[in-house]
Structure 1
Amino acid sequence: MSYGWKISTPKAEGMNEEILNNIDDYIKQKHYRLINSVLVIKNEKIIFEHYYNKFNANSRNNIKSIWKSILSITLGICIDKGIIKSIDEHISKYLKEFNQGEHPYHKAITIRDLLTMSSGIYWDGGVHYHCPMMMQMMRSGNWISHISDIAMENYPGNKFQYKEWDVILLSAIISNAAGKTAYEICNEFLYKPLEITSGIWSQSADNVSYTVMKGEENSDLSARDLAKIGLLFLNNGVFQGKRIVSENYVKQAIFPSTASSGYGYLWWLFDGGYACRGYGGQEVNVYPEEQLIIVIQATPSPQSKSYGDIAEQILMAIN
């Protein structure tokens, strides 16, 4: 039985209908020409769904680094299923390149450090986060070996720094532990139960599933797909009455890490909620007390625009 969204009105769900109806005018006034979709879910019902630039409910938009939050859920599923024992295991157990004594800090890095972006490995994202270090890695024959040769800047677990290395290593760990790619685990235990269709994430020569920078078109999801991810966490890991990921993992994922008060396990945290976010304005904002989910999708630009003010306008509609 396929999932069907219930449709309601802002007024019926206790929100100011006039403010929501003015969102289109606000987007036009701000000249936000790259916005493709704005979707608002209240009490598990769609109360606002507008598309732009010839997009519609079936259109798919690149999710960029929202993929990181999805990878976090995939890791949580691996923990639940015993594929990986604990997030406090050292990554050297799964990645031989970090078990060869190349740096004294290598054996101290844990899976938790990867989830909280605090591995301590040096990273420079470049101008507008264009990631020149990623280009160097992609030219190498072995991504994990390349990362293991990069200098350690901080002791693991001590300092938050948003970077690509940590999710690449996490994807490799899932693959090595499961004997399947991270995409295969995600597709089987997350996407299929949520009735989400996605292209196969591209893979490196050393079998690392990854979606940012390479093969990005394969991580295109619809606004409604992204709303399901938000709804899964809003319902503590349950979707349509079925447990997808443990409540314990969900609560840990949206709890501030010791490295950053604004970041959990590859989820962004803010007063009153949490979010998946990606380059160029991709957002899934969840507000638990209001039972509210706001999805924004846009075509990324070189300047990496963000549209958090649209969510703020929508929040003004809460009575």
Structure 2
Amino acid sequence: MIDSKVTLAGVELKNPIVVPSGTFGFGREYGQFFDLSELGAICVKGLTPQPREGNPSPRIAETPMGILNSVGLQNPGVDAFIAGELPELKKHDVKIIANISGNTPEEYGGMCEKLSAAGVDMIEVNISCPNVKAGGLAYGTRPELAAEVTEIAKKNSTVPVMVKLSPNVTDITEIARAVEEAGADAISLINTIRGMRIDVNTRRPILKMNTGGLSGPAVLPVAVRMVWETANAVKIPILGMGGVSKGTDAAELMLAGAAAVAVGTASFADVYAPVRVRDELFALAERQGLAHISALTGAAQPW
């Protein structure tokens, strides 16, 4: 049997399959179909300091190779998560990653402090959020803003901090280096790519917020490219994601440099996708004669 363990930001995962923020809720629904302990880690739905209702509907739209979403970070708030959801998650033998979003560095710091004390295994910092102090610019679009929020998160966290990068930038490596220098323990990428669809009959955008984030199989080549570029630019580990629906997809991201891989949008069509992808990945590694699944990481051979 292949050794399935991997290490991400100093945290040992029993296998490299993670479910990313925004696609798995807090695990209650999926837990009706399979044991959550089958996963390497669960990254919970994005948390904010206060409860959020999210954006108005329609906020999900299908595309030929994925979906557009503009859910708007609907969540019960960090305090409600700690009181009501975290105790249930802790009943499973799975690492827990808390994803956080804020509009000021102070909001990020406060959530890091609370979640660290509550006992999550890692914190994922979403830097696709607008910084109200910087005129609404997203943290992830400027190296200095990305570094600022990373430093605040690290200062207030007692668990590893992973920073989730936005692909909606000219040079992903510039942001990656900035958060590494600011102390990030790991990087996750990619977040969704901005997209839009229009109803040709009503002539209105299909999403109420006009644009949304594209995810699903269509973004896999972009994710592989950005993981590859980032892995060659930084030394900290990477959680790769974007369009993974098969074991070969997961293997591509690992070969590009990811230490672990997240399976997200595929779960909407197939609730068993994360465990199926895991099994397909293991079968591929065994066919190639690998003793450790981690041997895939960074093993691509460029021309």
Whose relative contact order is higher, 1 or 2, with alpha carbons under 8 Å and at least 6 apart? Answer: 1
